[in-house]
Amino acid sequence: MNIAAMKNSLTYLFFFWGAWLLMTVAAASVAQAWETDLLGEKYTMLQHKDEIHSISPLELKLIKEGFVDVQNLDPSILVDLKYARDDNFMGASAYGDFTRAYLRPEPSKMLVRASAILQERHPDLRILVGDALRPRSIQHKMWKLVVGTSKQHYVANPFAGSMHNYGAAVDVTLVNVRTGEKFDMGTPMDHFGPLSQPRLEEYYLQEGELTKEQIANRRILRSVMVDAGWHPLEIEWWHYDAFAKDVVRKKYSIIE
């Protein structure tokens, strides 16, 4: 067989192998896909078995850029995005239909590692994600609400960017899956006050405003996140960065 014939044979071989692989993956993951118009925007609808999911234009953009839905890696991780509801410090939903937790690939694997460590140490506990990737457009909304107030230093200036805007930070708490209850951490997530600050825990324990149990609960969360490589924030018990801020800014770009 001459070289030209060999090249043709290899071309056909790779073509048929690639076609078979694509059909196999498609059949295994999505039974049907179609586009629909919702409120003037194009949404991709994916049907898998008996479930139908809508993928917003923003989510399609994130997936194309390599972001990961953390529940696709570890379904035991719970997700309830704080800013997709109205019971937050803004008193309104900022995310609309954006309700899934997306992270960069490396941070998403770190969160899965933290989940595994937690379940090994405490089988009845699960990580609940309250925020993950936060597009900078949302950061602008949050900033406008707090700028000039006592809460300003709890929200990153959108011009510099939050680690959430890079897809390299999470807000997390713990849930007992036997009871369905969130752990008592002394304050709710996004409580912008001194009681939420890990650096002041011992002070507020002495003052009687935090209990030993609440601090112990925070330490369970902190230990598994730190052991998985996450960096805690000293003013918010729920916030963790995947890397130091200067590293994040070098590795990643902001999602607008």
Q: Taking the mean position of all CA atoms in its chain, how far away is CA 216?
A: 24
Give me the percent of the chain exceeding a pLDDT of 90.
60
pTM score, whole prediction: 0.78
Is there a binding annotation on residue 87? no
Is 41 labeled as catalytic in the residue annotation? no
DSSP H stretches of helix in the chain: 3-29, 57-64, 70-73, 105-121, 136-146, 201-206, 212-227, 245-251
Is there a binding annotation on residue 122? no
Q: What is the DSSP letter of 186?
A: S
- Rounded to an integer, the average pLDDT of 79-94 is 87
Q: How far apart are CA 43 and CA 60, in angstroms?
A: 9
Q: Which of 60, 65, 64, 101 is nearest to 83 (CA)?
A: 101
Give me the percent of the chain exceeding a pLDDT of 70.
79
Residue 225 pLDDT greater than 50, yes or no? yes
Is there a binding annotation on residue 239? yes
pLDDT band at 145 (very low <50, low <70, confident <90, very high): confident
Q: Where are the domains of the chain?
A: 1-28, 31-64, 66-251
Distances from the Cα of 54 to the Cαs of 3, 29, 63, 96, 138, in angstroms?
49, 15, 13, 13, 21
Window from 72-81, 115-124, 154-163, 243-252 with minimum mean pLDDT? 154-163
Structure token digits, residue 105: 């690939």
CATH of region 66-251: 3.30.1380.10
Window from 39-48, 51-60, 103-112, 195-204 with minimum mean pLDDT? 39-48
What is the model's pLDDT at position 1? 52
**Helix or strand or coil: residue 78?**
strand
From 106, 207, 236, 256, the catalytic residue: 236
